[in-house]
């Protein structure tokens, strides 16, 4: 299962548009999570590893990969649009 998740998230990261350094957002974990919920209506849908989570809005909405650091900060790692959901053991995201 871990291999699948790693492969699926790597596919999202490679297929999506590259983020520039200015696209990377880091802030206090609680503030970042509140912003993702407030701005995009996303919620956590998949834990990738101990520190990394995939957040997504409803089908067709936005998605964000968030990594939490030990010092209490969190950073967005990747993001995109047209979320297609998690179905069984398969992870799908349509990228533009």
**13-26 tens-digit pLDDT:** 433 443 444 578 99
| Residue 13 pLDDT | 42
Residue 84 has pLDDT above 50, yes or no: yes
Q: What domain range is 9 assigned to? A: 2-93
Section 58-82 average pLDDT? 94
Q: For the chain, give the percent of residues with pLDDT over 70.
A: 66
Domain count, the chain: 1
| Residue 42 pLDDT | 96
Between 42 and 11, whose confidence is greater? 42
Residue 24 and residue 75 in contact, taking contact as beta carbons nearer than 8 Å: yes
Chain-centroid distance, C-alpha 21? 17
Q: Which letter does DSSP use for residue 36 in this model?
A: H
């Amino acid at each position: 299962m871990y291999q699948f998740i790693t492969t699926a998230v790597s596919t999202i990261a490679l297929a999506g548009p590259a983020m520039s350094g200015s696209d990377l957002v880091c802030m206090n974990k609680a503030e970042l999570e509140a912003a993702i919920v407030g701005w995009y209506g996303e919620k956590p849908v998949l834990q990738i590893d101990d520190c990394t989570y995939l957040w997504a809005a409803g089908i067709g909405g936005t998605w964000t990969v968030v990594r939490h650091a030990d010092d209490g900060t969190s950073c967005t790692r990747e993001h995109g649009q047209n979320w297609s959901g998690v179905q069984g053991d398969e992870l799908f995201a349509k990228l533009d």
